[in-house]
Structure 1
Amino acid sequence: MLAMLRALALAVRQLADRRVLALLLKSVGLALVAFVALGTAGWIALDWGLGAAGLQDGAFAGAQGVRGALSVLGVVIGAWLLWRIVAMAALQFFADEVVKAVEAKFYPDRAAQARDLGFARETRRGLKGAGRALLFNLVALPFALVLLVTGVGAAAVFWLVNALLLGRELMEMVAARHEVELGPKPLGGGERFVMGGIVAALFAVPGVNFLAPFLGAAMATHLVHGKTR
């Protein structure tokens, strides 16, 4: 656990680095653009669907307002579920640069051995990871709804699912650049789960959730290289 906290502290400290700050702003900006586009499309789709289901403007007095309120509620719930997926997918476009920045500062020997993955491979991995995260969260949704009455059960389900997913995705960001010397899985299952759990918790904190993808990538870099030194 001390190694986890050390890795997180080093990741937070590097937020002041200009190179890292530029990468952070680009990834967050891309995530927000994608998020707004998805939210707008979702609102339009929900509004149309509710109208087709019988809530068209002429159905009864105030039908338009009810339809609008339900659409907004649906978008808000979808936003809460999808932000971590969209943010992690956006980070994948710059993941190699994030890992490079951390390696250049703390692990120059590893940086010299790393291989560039290329935009095409990063994009494929990002889309694959986003699809996997979306699928697992949709599978978890019915269980979360059942546990909604418990107050904390729904949040616990999503935390567990995303801890497993994030631990894997973050490790692979680093391992992909060092498969020859480190192998595809330099961190054990328990280490991946704890790391993913910390990052999943960061996603739940307002304000900090914008930083969570970068902090997770930097933290994974420290853990992988700190363990294999």
Structure 2
Amino acid sequence: MAIERALRQIRDPVFLRVLFWGLLLTALLLALAVAAAAWGAGQGYVAKEGWLNAALAWLAGLATLWLGALLFVPLSAIAIGLFLDPVVDAVEMKYYADRRAGPRLGILRAGWLGAKLGLIVLVANIAVLPLYILTIWIPFFAIGLFYVLNAYLLGWGFYDLVATRHMSGARYRDFRKSLRGELLLFGLLITALYFVPLLNLALPVLGTAMMVHIVHAKLPTP
């Protein structure tokens, strides 16, 4: 239901506008990060043997591509966080006009929530990177670990982005506990869809819209 409604609304002018600016900012941040990584790799050790230089250059290129893939999720979360309020407003105006959220978070608060989610995802993945490398010989273990870790973080993060406009304090924490199953399923779906080319570009917007529906499904009817 949540994903169906979110997909049905994807052509909403508000969604398209947020998607455009979010992707533009994500692409800019990603390009800067990858360029910095490529420059840093180019400043490294230079071997006397030509074949070793070629191997090092190949590894540096591979590491840069991996860095780009790793950074895509947190950077898109930061970018979309800056444009969060219009998406929440558009969904609630269409489906929940009688129980809309409280005041807008504002660009600074929403941007901070997006940045916090992005940083948590990035730091968590870097922290378990040694485990990814050590278990790469175990079939599907590293992929499964990446999948479950990011599913949990994204489920919690998108909830934080949306529910903050409705509640705070103890109610916020209790409400999140009541949604544990839904948040895990949401995170598993979102993480899986991040591997689908083109569709993954729209996931921050779709994820926000889906989370609005998930939160409202549990909110008491006025």
Q: Shared fold by TM > 0.5?
A: yes
Unaligned segments of structure 2, at least 5 residues: none
In 1, Cα distance between the equivalents of 2:138 and 2:42?
30
Number of the residue aligned with 1:85: 74
Unaligned segments of structure 1, at least 5 residues: 1-5
2:183 to 192, 196, 207: 192
2:205 to 181, 201, 214: 214
**Percent identity of paired positions between Structure 1 and Structure 2:** 29
Is structure 2 residue 27 aligned with structure 1 residue 38?
Answer: no
Aligned to 1:184, what secondary structure does the other structure show?
helix
Runs (4+) of structure 1 exceeding 3 A deviation are 62-67, 180-183
Quick check: 1:175–1:183 contact (8 Å CA) kept in 2?
no
In 2, Cα distance between the equivalents of 1:182 and 1:11?
29
Higher helix share: 1
In 2, Cα distance between the equivalents of 1:61 and 1:173?
51
Quick check: 1:140–1:161 contact (8 Å CA) kept in 2?
no
Quick check: 1:46–1:74 contact (8 Å CA) kept in 2?
no
| Aligned CA distance change for structure 1 residues 181 and 149 (closer, same or farther; 3 Å) | closer
Number of the residue aligned with 1:18: 13
Q: Deviations over 1:85-131 (max 9, x none)?
A: 111111111112211111111111222x5211122212222222222
Number of the residue aligned with 2:159: 171
Q: What is the aligned length? A: 217
TM-score, normalized by length of structure 2?
Answer: 0.90
Number of the residue aligned with 1:127: 115
Q: Deviations over 1:58-84 (max 9, x none)?
A: x22355543432221111111222211
Aligned to 1:16, what secondary structure does the other structure show?
coil
Q: Which amino acid aligns with 1:144?
A: Y
Number of the residue aligned with 1:147: 135
